[in-house]
Amino acid sequence: MKGLIFAILLVVSPIWPLGANPLPGDPFLIINKKTNEVAFINENRVQTVVGAATGKTGEMTPEGLFTVTVKAIDPYYRKKDIPGGDPRNPLGKRWIGFNARDTDGRTYGIHGTNDPSSIGKYISQGCIRLQNEAVESLYDYIPLGTKILVITTDKSFQQLAIEYGAIK
């Protein structure tokens, strides 16, 4: 019985790496669908904010707290059989996939784009698009297991990071 209680406490504990919230100081991404912006939080502060594109309709880009499960350089676009690195590839240069709606990180993600004019718009099929340069600069700072919050709100990134434990 003690072992079972310990196992349950370990899984729901805030120190467990797959727990509900990041630890203060750990990398954390926040996507605000209201402003179409992505904030990168690291080392207890908002490091940068970049423009993004999100779903054509509000429900297309799922909201919640997710975990990065897949990363890829020059991702393959399977819907149209376009290889990575091809200028026609709508996923751009990087893919940071997360486990929204019980998927494995290959359905929803933060990725680059071959259409820079789409940034700031509600235009995607559910993913979060960034300029290629932006997603490339973030890519190495986002390890597997990083928490991603997708939300529609008037709150600041600072407020959200504090609320979700990414900033002390």
Q: Would you name the residues annotated as active-site residues?
A: 111, 127
Instruction: Determine which helix (DSSP H) or strand (DSSP E) holds 139, and give its type and residue range.
Output: helix 132-139
> CA of 97: how far to CAs of 49, 63, 105, 122, 159, in Å?
19, 14, 4, 19, 25
Among residues 58, 48, 53, 6, which one has the least CA distance to residue 161? Answer: 48
d(CA 27, CA 146): 6
d(CA 8, CA 47): 34
Among residues 56, 82, 67, which one has the least CA distance to residue 26? Answer: 67
> CA of 47: how far to CAs of 28, 63, 68, 112, 146, in Å?
10, 22, 19, 19, 15
d(CA 92, CA 155): 30
